[in-house]
Amino acid sequence: MERYYERLDFSFSNDDLEKIKEMYFLYIKSCFENIEDDKYLEKYVILPKGRDDFKNSILEDLYLLKEFFDRKYEIFTLDNIKIIVDKIKENLIFEDIEDTETFLKNEEKRLYYLERLFNDFENTLNDTAKLDLSSFAYDVYKNTLIYFLENTDKFILEQVAKFIDIINEKFLPYLSQLDKIVICDPEYLDYVAGGSCFAYYIDGDVFIPSEVEDKYKDFFIETIYHEFGHFVYYLIPAYMQIEWTKEYSKWLEKDYKFTREPDEEMDLYELFADCFAICYSPLQESLKSPEKEVIEFFKKLMKKVVF
């Protein structure tokens, strides 16, 4: 079976956006209040070379803001959002401030402009990245809420039901942590999570495409279990995560073969999720297994998950 791999970015969430928004307006507000300060440029504009030099200062916020807008989110590539993001980035860092007098005269305009840009960014992002679920059909299967389009492929509905059956039997309390499963247009997933995404977990919701091409059906099945494996990893007790990390280090020293080719991305999180798919998905026999010791340790670890 031809294999495809992807790593989803789980860090973009409504909670993160709220933190960025709070930081953004704190920076702008503080700038407005101190624009007459003789050391304004030093305190509010010029980033030092090392972060230790401005820890816990307003420049820390500026650094983190720049870092956020420099991230490679798929949604940042959409034309209507990219234009705003590019303008924000241009106004967060200043390459030429030799003429400080002129710069300070224009500073107030820049701050008002930044404030407007961020409002545009937030509004455009919200309009783009939210689904109107009022137009979706819905059902509750074994206490799991499922929203779906009327034209959803029967194959998708069958696999989601099978997924719930398996997880409901073995990991019911973890399944109950999910708010809902949303089966939506593949194009929506393309721009919020990346091209050819088959399962996107965020803020307790799971987004799944309403259809997949025949050649990707096995990968779709593998992916929904693989991504739930990531979800499980962050829910298991800390001591189990520590045990997995320690063993992973030992396996690296022993040069063990894992679930992917040497040139493919692999770390302890991906290995855990791969092992989860191997042990619990209907495709167990066709997935590439790691060294026997690895899969046996994973199974032993999962037996400790007592409900």
Could you read off the pLDDT of 107-157 as tens digits, one per residue? Answer: 889 999 999 999 999 888 777 666 778 889 999 998 899 999 999 999 999
Confirm if 278 and 289 have CB atoms less than 8 A apart: yes
> What whole-number distance in Å separates Cα of residue 6 and Cα of residue 21?
29
What is the token pair recorded at 241? 């995560």
C-alpha distances out from residue 167 to 172, 215, 270, 288, Å: 6, 25, 19, 21
| Confidence at residue 5, expressed as pLDDT on a 0 to 100 scale | 31
What's the whole-number mean pLDDT along residues 248-269?
Answer: 85
- Nearest-angstrom CA–CA distance, 277 and 295: 11
Average pLDDT over residues 82-106: 85
Residue partners of 74: CB distance under 8 A and separation at least 6: 190, 191, 192, 193, 194, 195
- When pLDDT is cut at 50, 70 and 90, the band that residue 66 belongs to is confident
On the question of pLDDT at 94 being above 60, the answer is: yes
How many whole angstroms separate alpha carbon 155 and alpha carbon 1? 19
| pLDDT confidence of residue 220 | 93
At 203 the pLDDT is: 66
Tell me if 136 sits within 8 A of 205, measured CB to CB.
no
Task: Flag whether pLDDT at 83 surpasses 80.
Answer: yes
115 closest CA partner among 27, 193, 233:
27
Taking Cα atoms as reference points, which of 154, 133, 151, 147 lies closest to residue 178? Answer: 147
> Token pair of 191, please?
């721009």
pLDDT at 267 over 70: yes
